[in-house]
């Protein structure tokens, strides 16, 4: 249930991203179609952009913007930098969704990573276990000494002994 809720929320968030990213694309394609028509009228040539439906998304032919009403001025190619636009978009999305990203990151960091104890620490614990096999319950002072000598914390020591007793008793 928790995973299902998380996945539903994640899918919903991805759908929002998709909608936000496709809207500017559709507006840009509508603008380019308008420019294409103007260039074709000026040059009486056959400049052609892909038609709506040739790509994955259809473009709204009725979409308009302030640029549509303006004339076609000179465009310098140095001013058109697609990487700069991508960077701006990434920064904008990062600012907008940084809260969600941070929350997800914190949730992932909270989850404990499974791993083995260091070999030397494990060997010291095994040595203690073998010496005290008949009664493998270290006192608090022995646990503190083991923690200091192995570099593990008290909780790791306790858990190791609990698991060891379950395995071997």
Q: What is the pLDDT of residues 78-109, one digit of tens each?
A: 445 556 667 777 788 778 877 777 777 777 77
CA 127, CA 160: separation in Å to the nearest integer? 13
142 or 54, higher pLDDT: 142
Q: Is the pLDDT of residue 147 over 80?
A: yes
- Decide if 119 contacts 129 (C-beta within 8 A): no
0.85 cut: is pTM over it? no
Burial of 35: CB neighbours in 10 Å, binned 0-12, 13-18, 19+: middle
Which has the higher per-residue pLDDT, 169 or 32?
Answer: 32
Tokens linked to 115: 């791993």
CATH fold of 119-168 reads Arc Repressor Mutant, subunit A (1.10.10)
Structure tokens at 43: 């040059």
Name the residue ranges covered by the structural domains of the chain: 2-110, 119-168
pLDDT single digits (tens) 105-136 = 777 777 666 678 899 999 999 999 999 988 98
Checking if the pLDDT of 154 tops 70, the result is: yes
In this prediction, residue 43 carries a pLDDT of 67
- DSSP for 42-95 reads HH-S---PPPTTSSSS---TT---HHHHS------TTT--HHHHHHHHHHHHHH
> pLDDT per residue over 25-68, tens digit each?
888 888 888 888 877 777 665 545 555 555 444 444 444 444 44
């Amino acid at each position: 249930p928790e995973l299902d809720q998380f996945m539903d929320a994640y899918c919903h968030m991805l759908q929002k991203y998709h909608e936000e990213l496709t809207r500017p694309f559709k507006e840009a394609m509508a603008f380019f179609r308008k420019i294409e028509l103007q260039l074709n009228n000026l040059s009486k040539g056959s400049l052609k952009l892909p038609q709506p439906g040739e790509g994955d998304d259809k473009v709204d032919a009725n979409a308009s913007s302030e640029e549509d009403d303006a004339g076609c001025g000179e465009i310098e190619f140095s001013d058109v930098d697609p990487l700069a636009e991508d960077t701006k978009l990434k920064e904008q999305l990062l600012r907008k969704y940084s809260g969600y990203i941070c929350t997800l990151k914190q949730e992932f960091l909270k989850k404990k990573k499974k791993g083995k104890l260091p070999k030397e620490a494990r060997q010291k614990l095994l040595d203690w276990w073998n010496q005290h096999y008949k009664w493998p319950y270290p006192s608090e002072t022995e646990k503190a000494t083991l923690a200091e000598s192995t570099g593990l914390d008290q909780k790791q020591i306790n858990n190791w002994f609990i698991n060891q007793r379950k395995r071997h008793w």
